[in-house]
Structure 1
Amino acid sequence: MIAMSPTVTLKGQMKFSLKKALIGGEMSKSIYTGPGELLLAPSSIGDITIIKLGGHEQWSVGKDAFLACTQGIVTEYKSQGIGKAMFSGEGLFVYKISGQGILWCTSFGAIIRKDLQKDEKYIIDNGHLVAWNCKYVLERVASGGIVSNMMAGEGLVCKFTGPGTVFMQTRNAQAFSAWLAANAATAM
């Protein structure tokens, strides 16, 4: 929260879960009610987008991309399977979002929206996912003719198939961290 009107009330809620404790999910939640203005911002340098849910669709949201939602939205922290957990860049658990209302997602860098038609395919680097409501598979790709280190997740992409929408971020937090570490020595 950046700021709020004095007519807005804040209540905190704590929900302990062994799953969240082990994998780093949010255990506390802030609930804002009342008329007035509420200003929110992401914790990292990035963008915010809204997704309007009509009650008939389900979205997957990356572990760091969930920012806020209105009443009527159901958020669950679900496993996405061991293969996708190891290589999708999102870990074992992602948010599964459903219900009716508005969802706010955040990113590292700008957010790009890609709408896919039925059977249209689109390939996204595994470190750039924000939110999606269509199916995907992981695929290996050659980088300069050589497949990169599988355990590091290099050389893997997510191949999405429409119909649906994918939100992606222009920056990759792990790549940025590596760049900072490599360039920190030269800055001194």
Structure 2
Amino acid sequence: MPSFTITGDVDPFLHVSLQKGEKIFCESDAMVMMEEPLQVKGQLRGGIGRALVRRLANDESLFQQEIEAVSGDGDCLLSPALPGGVELLDVAPGADFVLSDGSFLAAESSVAINPRLNTIGGGFFGGTGGFVIMEARGQGKLAVSGFGSVFTLDVTPGRETVVDNSHVVAWSSTLSFEVGTPRTGGGFFGNIVNSVTSGEGLVIRFRGQGKVVICSRNRDLFRPRQSS
């Protein structure tokens, strides 16, 4: 199977080693370097329908790159669009992951990125894809990226974990989650006022058993403003 390694401390590369006949898929324009035995081509992975859903729901490209070791073994280096860290996750039956907007970087061909309905609260208020979110299923390695440094939290039963909505990269599908405002003990309107005055905005509350990958930067704050 392909070997995934994170290389470098600041804005790292994803280093993938493939043996002849193996292939991976990655976000469009992720390939930085590849050796001669490898070939890259654009793919409407999952067909035009799923590709359109992925584009509209999760801020991913319509076409994805497929890199295959055609004439022999070879290595490639991949990089996310935004500066930041890369995290490797193991997808397996019963261990699927939900992806936030733009977090997908690469995966083994045995992993599928499929649409899934979001919760009502997440659809109206969340920054995780609206009413349709993307879920990684199957078995194999999955590489996700976040703006800034990335860190993986372990969520355990009986201990709710609260994360700012704009800093969530991916999370285990086994977790239940709720989008809302930070709690202050002052009731519904008090929570809203505190959210506005503190600048904290929306948060996601995770419960259960699983992992949450977070990043240190909010990419929406760094998007260039359009001139009026």
Residue number in structure 2 paired with 1:164:
210
User: What does 1:99-110 correspond to in 2, within 5 Å?
Assistant: 99-110=138-149
Residues 27-176 of structure 1: pairs in structure 2 closer than 5 A: 27-34=62-69, 35-92=73-130, 93-133=132-172, 134-141=175-182, 146-148=193-195, 155-176=201-222
Task: Give the deviation of 1:86 after TM superposition.
Answer: 2.9
Judge conservation of contact 1:72–1:99 (CA < 8 Å) in 2.
Answer: yes
Letter of the aligned partner of 2:220 in structure 1? Answer: Q
Instruction: Look up the match of 2:11.
Output: none
Q: Alpha carbon RMSD of aligned pairs, Å?
A: 2.4
Structure 2, gaps ≥5 residues long: 1-30, 185-189
CA distance 1:161–1:96, change in 2 (3 Å): same
Q: Which moved more, 1:69-78 or 1:38-47?
A: 69-78
Q: TM-score, normalised by structure 1?
A: 0.82
Aligned residues between the structures: 176
Shift of the 19–161 alpha-carbon distance from structure 1 to 2, 3 Å rule, reads: same
Tell me, in whole angstroms, the C-alpha distance in 2 between the residues paired with 1:131 and 1:64.
10
Instruction: Tell me the amino acid that sits aligned with residue 129 of structure 2.
Output: G
The residue type equivalent to 1:158 in the other structure is: I
* Cα shift at 1:147: 3.6
C-alpha distance in 2 between matches for 1:40 and 1:126: 27
- The 3 A distance-change label for structure 1 pair 3 and 21 is closer
Question: What is the match of residue 24 of structure 2?
Answer: none
1:16 aligns with 2:51: no
Q: Percent identity, please.
A: 27
- 3-state DSSP class of the match of 2:116? strand
Given the two structures, how large is their TM-score scaled by the length of structure 2?
A: 0.69
What's the offset of the Cα at 1:79?
3.0
Q: Secondary structure at the match of 1:43?
A: coil
86-95 or 5-14: bigger deviation: 86-95
